[in-house]
Amino acid sequence: MSTVTLAEAKTHLSHLLDQVEAGAEVVITRRGQPIARISPVEKPKLPLKSLAEFRRGMPRWSKSSANLLREMRDEGL
């Protein structure tokens, strides 16, 4: 974890964000006191490997999507 002053953070924000993107945490201080911490955002993990895998697990419809939409429209849904 690195520590920078507020003035340094303003001047080198792009560089600090590159460090954070690489996994580092940065603490910003004002007059020697820590005021903020910048840390990387955890990306959500998808349980599926791909959209194709998801689609394979879906049941097949006996009717086309167009026919289902027409029926729903006609029924007032």
Q: What is the mean pLDDT of each run of 10 residues along the chain (77 residues)?
A: 94 95 94 95 76 82 88 85
Q: How far apart are CA 6 and CA 12, in angstroms?
A: 10
The answer to whether the beta carbons of residues 44 and 51 sit under 8 Å apart is: no
Element (H, E) at 52: helix 51-56
Instruction: Give the CA radius of gyration of the chain.
Output: 25
Rounded CA-CA distance 63/40 in Å is: 46
In angstroms, rounded to a whole number, what is the distance separating the alpha carbons of residues 30 and 34? 6
Q: Is the pTM of this model over 0.85?
A: no
Give the CATH H-level superfamily of domain 2-38.
Answer: YefM-like domain (3.40.1620.10)
